[in-house]
Amino acid sequence: MSELPKVVFFGSDAICLPVLNFLVGAGAAQCELCAVVSQPDRRQGRGKKLQPNPVAAWAAAQGITLLQPEKPDSELVEWIESRAVAVAMVMAYGHFLPKRLREAPIHGMVNFHGSILPKYRGASPVETAIAMGELETGVCLMQVVKEMDAGAVADVEVVRIESSDTGPSVRAKVGEAVVPLIERCLEATLTGTLDFKPQDVAAVTHCRKLSKDDGALDFRLPAQSIYDRLRAFTPWPGGYFDHVDTRIKVGEASVDLDAVALLPGTVIAVGDTLSVATAAGAICFHELQRPGGRMLPVPDFVRGYPIAVGEVLPSVSSPPLVD
């Protein structure tokens, strides 16, 4: 019986778990997952204890060889070459992969990128697609090259973005979408016979890494755009506005596209919701939270912290999500 082709998987985020489970499940008839390469354990939580990321924890639980170099180096290259690894797969790993490492497997490296390329190359493709009001996104099987997410694409699995979806729910869909994608492409991936097509350079867009400041609300945007950003930025960086000297976080929200047109930021109504005028329509907050407090329904919140109709809440501009 001939030996199965060996695969090494590079990843650090929970979005990788569906494809990893496939590789040790149905995919195990075609290949051997011989190792997982992941970020080192980091200090997390209030106690700042060293904790593994989801992929590292999965590998340890599965009894699969786990490599956690601080940065991919020559020792990792030698490890892969010495074991005649057929191909390396990458998703949400978090490190630049040098040329020697990309070429160490017999058939090189492939990457699963969470957008429909050439749109949304970069660090936050899932969240940015939601924030930009896209109705669909997806995951691409692509070559790994020096320039970020610029490799040619072999196949794509499309994912629908529903109006109620948030960042975590779409990330879960994208993670699951990798399974049918690799299922139909596994044999060609293992043999180096994938048919890659270059990206349309004229249609390329890039998305940046998100920051805490992206949670600041800009009421000069249309209500639908604000709502899309709130969905995308759940649970982090979330959404907030300043009222006098207090920073107020927002929870559940909805949109009223028929609201009266007023100066953006004007509080239109305070009742079951706090309705605020925007560039088009109103954004209606159902839940609010003060610093150190709990997220409360608006009627409970305003009993302890009044906000008056007619007040104008400040808007904060943030850098564009896409260039």
Residue 167 contacts residue 127 (beta carbons within 8 Å): yes
Among residues 157, 183, 206, the one where a domain terminates is: 206
CATH number at residue 78: 3.40.50.170
In a domain, 40, yes or no: yes
Q: Which residues does the chain have with pLDDT short of 50?
A: 1
Nearest by Cα to 23 from 104, 110, 119, 82 = 110
pLDDT at 2: 60
State residue 48's pLDDT score: 82
Pairwise CA distance, residues 128 & 133, whole Å = 9
pLDDT recorded at residue 73? 87
- Domain boundary residue, one of 149, 177, 206: 206
Q: Measure the CA–CA gap between 102 and 109, rounded to whole angstroms.
A: 6
pLDDT of residue 44: 82
- Residues 183, 172: Cα–Cα separation, whole Å: 18
Residues 96 and 170 in one domain: yes
Do 165 and 19 belong to one domain? yes
**Angle, CA 70 vertex, CA 92 and CA 90 arms, to 5°:** 25
Indicate whether this model's pTM tops 0.85: yes
Q: Looking at the structure, do residues 225 and 297 belong to the same domain, yes or no?
A: yes
Task: List, in sequence order, the alpha helices (H) in the chain.
Answer: 17-24, 54-62, 74-82, 99-102, 125-131, 167-191, 223-232, 298-304
Residues 64 and 147 in one domain: yes
Within-domain flag for 309: no
Answer yes or no: do 127 and 17 share one domain: yes
Regarding whether 43 and 24 lie in a shared domain, the answer is yes
What pLDDT does 222 receive?
Answer: 97
- Which DSSP letter does residue 26 get? G
Same domain, 176 and 253: no
According to the model, what pLDDT value does residue 274 have?
Answer: 98
Between β-strands 6-11 and 32-37, what pairing exists: parallel, antiparallel or unpaired? parallel
At 165 the pLDDT is: 98
Chain center to CA of 117 = 15
Domain of residue 71 covers 6-206
Q: Are 148 and 247 members of one domain?
A: no
- CATH code at position 251: 3.10.25.10
Q: Are residues 19 and 55 in the same domain?
A: yes
Going by C-alpha positions, the residue among 218, 295, 190 that lies closest to residue 251 is 295
pLDDT computed for residue 196 by the predictor: 98
Please tell me whether residues 158 and 256 are part of one structural domain. no
- Domain membership of residue 108 (yes or no) is yes
Q: What total number of domains does the chain contain?
A: 2
172 shares its domain with 32: yes
pLDDT of residue 47: 76
CA distance 88 to 6: 9
Q: What is the pLDDT of residue 121?
A: 98
Whether 157 and 236 share a structural domain: no
